[in-house]
Amino acid sequence: MRTTIDKAGRLVIPAPLRQRAGLSAGAEVELTEDELGLRLTRVAPGPRLVKVGARLVARPTAAPDTRPSIDVAALIEEERNRWP
């Protein structure tokens, strides 16, 4: 997908890409530069460790309604179909 940058330097990320990446208004992102260009990464809060019995269990810190639902099988299939 192509998009443009406006005079203020803002970049519009198309809705399908925002939805797949789990980005919503106010989401925190990190912008880095590498050998291929610019990389935009969603900043997600890390899990916290909770002791359950004798074990440590990783629990998400984000509220359930703010976590993106990701269809892993669809992402894999999409990636497979991307290349001839």
pLDDT score of 40: 87
Distance CA 52, CA 81 (A): 42
pTM of the predicted model, to two decimals?
A: 0.49
Q: Which residue has the tokens 């443009």?
A: 4
3-class secondary structure, 57? strand
Condensed to tens digits (0 to 9), the pLDDT of residues 49-81 reads 999 999 999 988 877 777 777 888 988 888 888
Tens of pLDDT, residue by residue over 24-57, are 888 889 999 989 999 988 887 788 899 999 999 9
pLDDT of residue 55: 94
